[in-house]
Structure 1
Amino acid sequence: MSGEVKGAGRGAIGMGEGGWPSSRGRAAAQALRGGRLSGVGGGWAAWGEAVWGGLARIRGLFEQEIEERRLFLWLPVAVGLGVLLYFSADQEPSIWAPGVAAAIAAAAAIALRLRSRLGSGVAIAVLAVAAGFFAATLRTRLMAAPVLDRVRVGKLTGVVEGMETRIAGGRLMIRVLAMEGVEPAALPYRVRVTTPNHPTVKPGETIRATARLLPPPEPSRPGGYNFARDAFFGAIGAVGSLAGKIELDPAPAALPLDLRVFAAIDRARNDMTERIARSIGGAAGGVAAALVTGKRGLIPEAVNDDLRAAGIYHVVSISGLHLVLAAGMVFWLVRAGLALSPALALRRPIKKWAALCAMLAGAGYTVFAGGDVATVRSLVMTLVLLGAILVDRPALSMRNLALAALLILLIEPESVLAPGFQMSFAAVAALIAVFERPGGAGSDPEAGTFVGLGLAPPPAKAPAKGWPARILDGLRHHAVGTVLSTLVAEAATGAYGLYHFQRYTPFGLVGNALTLPLVSLVVMPAALLGAIAYPFGLDGPIWQIMGLGVDGMLRISARVHAWPGSTQAIPAFGMTAVLCLTLALLWLTLWRTALRWAGVPLALLGAGLAAAAQAPDVVMARDGRALAVRGPDGRLVLVGRQAGAFVTEQWLRADGDVRSAGDATLGAGARCDTLGCVVRLPDGRAVSQVLVAGAFEEDCRRAAVIVTPLQAPSWCNKPLVMDRARLTAAGATALTATSDGFTVASERTALRDRPWLPHPPVRKPAEPSAAAAKASRSAPATPGGGAAPAVDDPDDPGPPAEP
């Protein structure tokens, strides 16, 4: 009987192309069930028929997706996978390797295009992965520039490329010409520095001042925000601060064209920022200026916290919302104006003309707003959508979104790591997937009508409604559309927000629903009119109207922030969970048939991995001068004075702790003196920070972990020792306590030669005198010690940009 079943399984049950069961196979399975294998083998036959029938059903769904050209949507996914593989390499790859792989895959795809659809598809997928890897490798080669090797202090000479006035001081982007003590070949291309006072210099001027510069800081914890990598792709080779008087120097004979253009644009942005802020005044003026020019330095930090808590911080970051509103208003105004002429409306493609004007307006707005990565990314998406109108294609479709993603990944591959890229495309893909539906038999499968709950268009022969009914319908559609779109967008972007920021705002739906009408109906139209009237000097009253809308938005956000639980901290989770949730989102949005529901188990798996993530028990800075240790009460205890407010808050948020960097309880549980500090873990084991060599003898006998900026003696091998040599090689490191020791996670494990990683020389720090080495170990920790300014981070990079 078993031989008969085996023979039938291989012979009678035919297999279609690619291993799928054919119609002959399904018929054979039915014959097996109804005839020869009745009785003892009937159960097995029924099971086999169900399996083959299910496979046939899946094959039919895949064929339907292929017929609707949905496989194209997975091309940017494959390109993005290639980019991720590049950034996960443990050494800098050769540029020829992905190029050769791409050529071989392209040749295979051409050779197999008529022989095997499956083989050709696999070759195209490999080609896309190789193309992403090659694009990332090439981008790194093109952006390579010197990175400062260590902390340096000296006279800096350079051209001011950009300047931003902040509430306290200012920030300058300087194209470096010379620096005292640095060879010309080792000069960074540009540096970013802060000033204690509001700078009086202007973009385009050549300055000379005393600067304290350091390499762009690496992540403060394993898996944290990597400012050093972002700075590398922005050609920023150092950060720091200026001290003393800033002197003007004669300009070089001929500045590069790009520098002159950037400086002129930045001067115009600063002038308009000052004009808007002065016309409106207060926090509303700073927010309004940021909405128009992208300069966010005049927004008080308390207002930033309100906007984040209300879930509307994306409003002040010039990205998709601003470009869509600006380009959309230009499109509507131009088309409405041209439609006033019946001859033009009936005989000319005024819709295409309006789309072209909107594209030019969006490009101009991007240039004026500074053209940072998030804005350029949004411009590419907007241009693709508007360009579809020029070629008579549906503007809002998943295919156009895929094209935009392809362009961005090939031009700026590093964007795939940015939260703005991830959240923007996740939100738009989810919205299109929820609102789209097939256009009907014989229609273009990429064209669809977009419907939501209660948003379906009325029947063509429906009786006309009066204006009150139309107003009510419009309000209902707006309310339902806002709630539905906000829910969908938050569900799609939630995983990325939690991964990058460890922050959850449960009232974001309320904040968006209440403020977006003000933004779209008052704030942004006033911003467009004000920008038009600005060259004529007639913009003052318009900015004041805009200020009224912004002030209302700020009042709403402050009220939402005041609600209990408006901001929640979520412990950080790992990359595996994010990848599972990303694959789940792609599976749920890129397929249109019932295949999409296979993404639900992936989403549950990713959510489970995120929920099961275990926070480390010890996190230490890359120099060993500051660390956070889980104390007996289960909360982190801050040890050392060198972490700085930014690093401290990064550690706290990753632990799901909502305390601020200046909280007096951060030092509770630590015993510190001039020799170092000791903290007990919840299981009683001691973690010691050694600052003086004389403390090694005692701590090497008693501590389970020693963290030190010094070089530990070779005989100190009983505890786990994280000394200067090990931390220099590993960077920021985290330890998780286990029953028999500790697991170690380091930021720079095996990644020592990537071009964005600086290699500072090891220098022995000064040690206190012998008298200080005899001090008692009983002095209490300084409360809130972690809030002190960082010695090696005078210019905290800040968290990654929020979309």
Structure 2
Amino acid sequence: MQRIGARTAEGAVAPVRARPAPLSAFLPTLLSPLRDGLARDLAREAEQRRLFPWLAVAFGAGILAFFAAADGQPWLPAPLLAAALCLALTPRLGTRPAILALTLALAAGFLGFAAAAWRVHRVAAPVLARTTIAPLTGLIEALDEREEGARLVIRVESLGDLAPEVRPLRVRVSFRKAPPLRPGDAIAAKARLLPPPEAARPGGYDFARDAYFQGIGAVGSLVGPITVRPAPDAPLRLRLAAGLDAARNALTRRIAEGGGGQAGAVAAALVTGKRGLIAPGTNDALRAAGIYHVVSISGLHMVLAAGVVFWLVRAILALVPHCALRWPIKKIAALAAMAGVTAYCAFSGWDIAAERSLVMTLIMLGAILVDRPALSMRNLALAAFVALAREPEGLLGPSFQMSFGAVAGLIACARLIDGRLFAREGAGRLGRALALGLSAVAGTLATTLVAQVATAPFATYHFQTLQPFGLVGNALTLPLVSLAVMPCAVLGVLAYPFALDGPVWWLMGRAVAGMLAISEWIAGFGRANVVVPAFGTGALALLAAALLLATLPVSRLRRLALAPAALGLALAALPARYDVYVDRQGSGAAVRGADGRLQALGRPSAFVLEQWLRADGDGRRASAVAEAGARCDRLGCTARLPDGRAVALVRDRRAFPEDCARAAVLITPLSAPPTCAGPLVIDRRALAAHGATALRAGPDGFTAAYARASPRAPPWRERPEQAVVKPADPPTESNEGEGGPEASGDASPAPLQ
């Protein structure tokens, strides 16, 4: 072998072959532009004060960590001490900004974890362990009137012979026929109560969790006569809350009667937040048109209320020369507007969407007091901190997610809705008018488009629906709402104490009727309300991360949103559908038939069946599938999967021998015998441990998913050893026609905000 550098036969020296440099030698050169660009982008983010909102994101991540991973109730000082340690290190990290930012984010995460832990501890109250029919006495804290009857929240004084340590603090009940009741009344009646229902499917809405944070330990209905007793000496806070709710109900009735029909019901909801009088068909039309957010007390209402108070106070003070010349009337008007909008938020029910709008409005008005600019992403982050510190569980719900997502998108795209978009210097009067009109139209369309894109992932995840014509609905109705409906609402509230509000509510009803006519017209379009299959939390997390990356940065870092957006959309477009759904009581199921669609098996409630259908991307009503496909007799029901395997539902023990021998899946609210070892058995014991169950069929068996995905039992969930699973009792006369969750033991999520 010839060596490098040796002489050849002719005496020449062979050239030396150098080894190629390793790739690591070029990495600094390749990465240097990326590092420098990242440093410039981060410097711009810091200059524009866009790093602070990420602390709110870290605070929310700590809340999510608590709800996703905390096993039981953690020791509260632990996350507080961890946050304090992180904050104590920050003075030593001033020369290392990246590590400083990460340390502050970690501290915010620990504080979010602590906030969630403290909230769970503070609202702890007993939850009913099993279905109970017993005498109930208590004080009505809140009353929501409905088309028939009402729904009550009762603070319990006694429930049968239950001891105080196991008696629910509050119960939510419905009734159809009863003497006139109002908040603050003490009543006695017989009640049929059951534990707050858990999710109807794996990954579905968990009403039991939301009820726990409201102090509601049972839901149900009142049966038989209701007796109104002398009210006890309740605490002042309860009396004030009951009085406020009574005032809201009185104004709701007055507006509904003045506006007339469904227009009056929607007008009342716009003012007081009471939506019980709105018919399901009207709700469906508003959702199909993409304008149900108008019914929710949120930013539009808060800004108008604050603006009217601000303008009135400032105008009145400006009429007095001494005040106008010597007093800071702008700041005085801002203080008055802050007080007025806070009172309006309390009167409208103080839900999390209204709270977010209140905080944003207060920050905007507070900026007037300190002569600072108001509307910014930093202020939205402050609003998020306040809302989540007060109600950390709100982060898990659609109201918070959609509200903050929409506002973040609108702030990030503020240039699109800027009134000066079409303005030109030196334009004449006609040109300015034309520019104003174009800006108004473009602003409405851009606002609607941005809000729809920002809220679509959350709306689709929670409700499995999309409204393709929402842009049209908002473009046609928002001018009517802004120019007629909401000004009438503000004027009517101001005239109400003088009993001069009747004509105003009539006029508002006519404006709302026009809004409803547009909604019904759009709802008549083909596929105005598209039902899509449910996707998992992984896709939602990616889409939420994409929204954050697209809205919070101001530099080129926004481009990083493309990767999680693409991956999230890919996961959402390929959802993993289930072939068998089983309700948590074992009294009903849904099985995929030969046509590829779900068919009912047994007697699942209409609400539960529709939840399964929507999760499957099926927009049919429960009545359309209740009798399809299954073969039933007195002992049970049988259906077959597309591959021919049988799914059996056993109601009577006499069916066990036959169905255990032939079925691939056996479902029963009873305890299956030990000899039933052939099929996959989902019986009383399995349901008590896992809750609602879903199965995906494969060639080698079934893959199961459970509503109780974790073996740990959070405070709002009954433990398996305490659970009593049995078929639902037939509905009584008092709750049969309600159509609400109490009748079936289920609860629907809050309406779209």
TM class, shorter-length: over 0.9
Cα RMSD of the aligned pairs, angstroms, is 2.5
Partners of 2:59 and 2:385 within 8 A in 1: yes
1:101 to 67, 79, 82: 82
Contact 1:279 1:543 in 2 (8 A): yes
Question: What's the offset of the Cα at 1:101?
Answer: 1.7
Q: Which of 79, 99, 123 is equivalent to 1:143?
A: 123
C-alpha displacement at 1:329, in angstroms? 3.1
1:190, CA displacement in angstroms?
1.0
Residue of structure 2 equivalent to 1:647 = 608
- Alignment-derived partner of residue 690 in structure 1: 650
Q: Of 524, 534, 544, which aligns to 1:582?
A: 544
Deviations 1:242-283 (A, max 9, x none): 01111012222x211111001111111111111111112111
**Separation in 2, partners of 1:649, 1:378:** 33
Matching of residues 325-364 of structure 1 within 5 Å: 325-338=304-317, 348-364=327-343
Q: Does 1:757 align with 2:711?
A: no
Shift, 1:108, TM fit? 2.1
Give the letter for the 2:388 counterpart: L
* Deviation at residue 631 of structure 1 after TM alignment: 0.9
Q: Report what 1:261 is aligned to.
A: 240
Secondary structure of the 1:238 match is strand
Q: Say which SS state the counterpart of residue 186 (structure 1) adopts.
A: coil
Name the residue aligned to 1:779. Answer: none
The answer on whether the counterparts of 1:165 and 1:199 sit within 8 Å (CA) in structure 2 is: no
Cα shift readout 1:23-64 (whole Å, capped 9, x = no counterpart): xxxxxxxxxxxxxx9995599877753332222212221222
1:652 aligns to what SS in structure 2? helix
> How far 1:798 sits from its partner (Å)?
2.0
**1-side partners of 2:741 and 2:749: how far apart?**
19
Residue 488 (structure 1) aligned with residue 450 (structure 2): yes
| Aligned-residue offset at 1:378 | 2.7
- For residue 799 of structure 1, what is the amino acid of its counterpart? P
Contact 2:219 2:742 (C-alpha < 8 Å) held by counterparts? no
- How far does the alpha carbon of each residue in 1:734-779 deviate from its partner, in whole angstroms, 9 at most, with x for none? 1111221111111112243210112474558699xxxxxxxxxxxx
In 1, the alpha carbon distance for the partners of 2:742 and 2:252 equals 32
Alpha carbons of 1:38 and 1:125: their partners in 2 closer, same or farther (altered >3 Å)?
Answer: farther
Give the 3 Å change call, closer, same or farther, for CA 521–790 of structure 1 in structure 2: closer
In structure 2, relative to structure 1, the CA distance for the partners of 1:680 and 1:651 (3 Å cut) is same
CA distance in 1, matches of 2:229, 2:309: 43
| Alpha-carbon displacement from aligned partner over 1:770-797 (angstroms, at most 9, x marks no partner) | xxxxxxxxxxxxxxxx999799854642
Identify the match of residue 498 of structure 1 among 454, 460, 463: 460
Partner Cα distance (1:55, 1:270) in 2: 61
Q: How does 1:371-520 map to 2 (within 5 A)?
A: 371-435=350-414, 450=415, 452=417, 455-456=420-421, 458=423, 462-463=425-426, 465-466=428-429, 468-520=430-482
| Equivalent residue, structure 2, for 1:731 | 691
String of CA shifts for 1:315-364, please: whole Å, max 9, x gaps. 11212222122223333444455556677667644332332222112111
SS at structure 1 position matched to 2:473: helix
Aligned pair in 2 of structure 1 residues 790, 65: CA closer, same or farther (>3 Å)? Answer: closer
Question: Equivalent residue for 1:129?
Answer: 109
The structure-2 alpha-carbon separation of the partners of 1:588 and 1:555, relative to structure 1 and needing over 3 Å to count, comes to same
Query: Is 1:166–1:198's contact at 8 Å kept on the other side of the alignment?
Result: no
* Contact 1:320/1:424, CA 8 A, preserved across alignment: no
Of stretches 89-98 and 631-640 in structure 1, the one that deviates more from structure 2 is 89-98
Offset of residue 433 of structure 1: 0.8
Identify which range, 702-711 or 564-573, moves more after superposition. 702-711
Deviation at 1:722, TM superposition (A): 0.8
Structure 1 residues 348, 470: CA separation in 2 closer, same or farther (over 3 Å shift)? Answer: farther
Q: Distance in 2 between matches of 1:671 and 1:595?
A: 59
Q: Is the aligned partner of 1:61 residue 2:41?
A: yes
Which residue is 2:568 aligned to? 606
CA offsets, 1:441-461, max 9 Å, x none?
Answer: xxxxxxxxx4548843746xx
- The answer to whether the 8 Å contact 2:353/2:403 transfers is no
Instruction: Find the counterpart in structure 2 of residue 211 from structure 1.
Output: 191
Asked if structure 2 preserves the Cα contact closer than 8 Å seen for 1:307 and 1:557, the reply is: yes
Q: What secondary structure is seen at the aligned counterpart in 2 of 1:201?
A: coil
**Partner amino acid for 1:614?**
A
Q: Aligned equivalents of 1:144 and 1:294: distance in 2? A: 27
Q: Contact 1:165 / 1:198 at 8 angstroms: preserved in 2?
A: no
| Whole-angstrom CA distance in 2 between matches of 1:673 and 1:475 | 67
Using a 3 Å threshold, how does the CA distance of structure 1 residues 54 and 686 change in structure 2: closer, same or farther?
same
Q: Offset at 1:464? A: 5.8
1:711 Cα offset (Å): 0.8
Secondary structure at 1:639 match in 2: strand
1:173 corresponds in structure 2 to: 153
Preserved CA contact (<8 Å) 1:206 1:250: yes
- Aligned-partner residue type, residue 670 of structure 1: A
Q: Which residue of 1 is the match for residue 666 of structure 2?
A: 706
C-alpha contact 1:225 1:800 (8 A) present in aligned 2: no
Q: Is the 8 A contact 2:417 2:444 kept in 1?
A: no
Q: Is the 8 A contact 1:571 1:653 kept in 2?
A: yes
1:620 equivalenced with 2:599 (yes/no): no
> For residue 771 of structure 1, what is the aligned residue in structure 2?
none
Q: Report % sequence identity.
A: 51
Judging changes above 3 Å, is the alpha-carbon distance between structure 1 residues 764 and 366 closer, same or farther for their aligned structure 2 residues?
A: closer
Unaligned residue ranges in structure 2 (runs of 5+): 1-16, 729-735
State whether residues 679 and 688 of structure 1, in contact with CA within 8 Å, keep that contact through their aligned partners in structure 2.
Answer: yes
Retained in 2: the 8 A contact 1:730–1:746? yes
CA apart distance, 1:94:
2.6
Compute the displacement of 1:187 (Å).
Answer: 1.7
Aligned residues: 728
Name the structure 2 match of 1:119.
Answer: 99
Shift of 1:673: 1.1
Q: For residue 777 of structure 1, what is the aligned residue in structure 2?
A: none
Is the Cα–Cα contact under 8 Å of residues 335 and 351 in structure 1 kept in the other structure?
yes
Q: Give the letter for the 1:193 counterpart.
A: V
Matched ranges for 1:193-204 at <5 A: 193-197=173-177, 199-204=179-184
Name the SS for the 1:662 alignment partner: helix
8 Å CA contact 1:661, 1:787 repeated in 2? no
In 2, Cα distance between equivalents of 1:261 and 1:564: 48
Which AA in structure 1 matches 2:614?
R
Aligned-partner Cα distance in 1 for 2:741–2:253 = 33
- Residue 288 of structure 2 aligns with an amino acid whose one-letter code is A
Q: Choose from 579, 582, 593 the match for 1:631.
A: 593
Give 3-state SS (helix, strand or coil) of 1:184's partner. Answer: coil
Q: Does structure 1 conserve the Cα–Cα contact (< 8 Å) formed by 2:197 and 2:745?
A: no
Instruction: Give 1:238's aligned residue.
Output: 218
1:538 equivalent to 2:500? Answer yes
1:162 aligned partner, one-letter code? A
Distance 2:370 2:86 in 1: 31
Change (3 A) 1:648 1:790: farther
How far the C-alpha of 1:497 sits from its partner, in A, is: 0.3
Deviation of the 1:689 alpha carbon: 1.0
CA distance in 1, matches of 2:542, 2:676: 42
Which residue does 1:10 correspond to in 2? none
2:522 is the counterpart of 1:572: no
1:248 aligns with 2:228: yes
User: Do 2:582 and 2:694's aligned partners in 1 also have CA atoms closer than 8 Å?
Assistant: yes
Runs of at least 5 residues in structure 1 that lack an aligned partner in the other structure: 1-36, 436-449, 768-785
Structure 1 match to 2:488: 526
What is the DSSP-based 3-state SS (H/G/I as helix, E as strand, rest coil) of the residue aligned with 1:528?
A: helix
In the alignment, does 2:675 pair up with 1:675? Answer: no
Matched-pair contact (CA < 8 Å) for 1:637–1:666: yes
680, 704, 717: which one pairs with 1:744? 704
Give 1:296's aligned residue: 275
